[in-house]
Amino acid sequence: MKIPFRQFTLLLVCLVTGITASFGRKQLTQADDTIATLHRLMDAFQYEQAIRVVSQLLRTDSLNIELLTMKGHALAAEFKIREARDIFTRAYHQDTTNTNILFELTNVCRQLGDVKQAISHCRKLVGLHPESTFFSLQLSGLYYGTDDFITAKEILFPLSRRDSTDTYVLKQIGNCYNELQQTDSAICFYVRYLDLVPSDAGITGKLANLLIRKKDYQAGKELTEEFLEHDSVNNGILKLNAYCNYLLKDYPGAIEKFSRCVTLGDRSKFTHKYFGLSHYKQEQYGLAETQFRQALQTDTTDAEVCFYYGVSTYRSALPDTGVIYLEKTLKLLMPDPQFLTNLYIELAGAYNEKGQIDTALSLLKSAYQANPGRVTLAFHLGYQYDYYLRKPDQALPYYKEYLEKCQESEKGESNEPQRKSYYEYTLKRVKELTGKNPIFQAY
């Protein structure tokens, strides 16, 4: 039977269409299977195999954004960051508003150290999603990483106004102000942050250090004590609390806290140094010597620790050791005049303990010539002549000078230790001596 031409044509068209549709469905199914395979490879961390598969697919479909993105992810996972950046850049040229691609470009540029380009991509993300806190935080972090703390802070302020309880934003603004050395503003934001997260030891430590910098030692002490009520074994905060006690001249309190630091395993130079100074301030030289020795084992080049160790040893009946370390202090640095004067006085004291009184006198004269305005130097010279050399007549001029200088410098208000007892001793001694020498009857 012959089929009419029109019917034959229609039948042929339907047959061809059916075959084509079937082939298209088969291709789509194969593509879906391939994408699913790629996802399985990525989930199984088989990145090299995933790269091979997706590279083959891109030979026939080089503009496929999904395939380009997957290859970029796989390359980045294999730490082939430069290749990943090139692939993501190709994908970006196909769709400049694709959030995922811009985010990946930001990350790979940051990893490559190209922060300028990372900032450029991240700014585009913020422009596309101004409502997103996440992208703004990423951008602020990039600026913070380049030490552009002003711009980082300016990005964070709108986020703070949007949500005044966002602890990360409060902390970062505080960090920006801290880096900019705007202490009062940093303190303000750290306080707001700690009101919400009081258990943060890192920010508690930063705030305590800022309060110490402002010489608000009492506030620093109270802040650290409040933290220690909840975490009594946090050595960093305990150390700061001990230091605040030391700065407040509560030396017994400082000793108790520094002792706890050492018990917790703290062997830092800072702890042993100020533990020693707390004993030193109370003239407990034997105990101080032990701590300074520990500090020196950590850092043998610290001139200040070396000095206090030398003083503590000779005052603990170890004059030979005292001389060694006081002389070592001289070799470590050329101190400022005030410190150099203290050093000469203490070194003279060590030589006196050794019985080398002439050497001690020479040191005191050197200090006197280098710093004639130092009030107590005249007393030490007078005492050297009077007590050690048994030459009271030569002591009297120096005693007289000391009394005159003390009156001029408002005696009793000096920070120099024992100034008051020096003055009272000198006044009494001059009165004893002037009966033998009418020149000093005025005293």
pLDDT in tens, 386-423: 999 999 999 999 999 998 888 765 544 544 445 568 88
Give the chain's residues under pLDDT 70: 1-34, 335, 408-420, 435-443
Does a structural domain hold residue 91? yes
Residue 357 sits in the same domain as residue 409: no
Residues making up the chain, counted from first to last: 443
Residue 351 sits in the same domain as residue 435: no
Residue 288 sits in the same domain as residue 336: yes
Out of 68, 103, 128, a domain closes at 128
Does a structural domain hold residue 156? no
Residue 35 sits in the same domain as residue 93: yes
Out of 128, 151, 177, a domain closes at 128
Does a structural domain hold residue 411? yes
CA 88, 93, 98, 99 torsion-angle sign: positive
Output the pLDDT for position 4: 53
Residue 296 sits in the same domain as residue 320: yes
**What is the count of structural domains for the chain?**
3
- Among 140, 215, 137, 160, residue whose Cα is nearest residue 183: 215
CA 363, 365, 371, 376 torsion-angle sign: positive
DSSP 8-class letter at 46: -
Residue 36 sits in the same domain as residue 115: yes
Does a structural domain hold residue 274? no
Out of 128, 158, 184, a domain closes at 128
Does a structural domain hold residue 59? yes
Does a structural domain hold residue 196? no
**Which amino acid type is present at position 244?**
C
**Which amino acid type is present at position 205?**
G
Does a structural domain hold residue 398? yes
Domain region containing 67: 30-128
Does a structural domain hold residue 357? yes
Residue 295 sits in the same domain as residue 353: yes
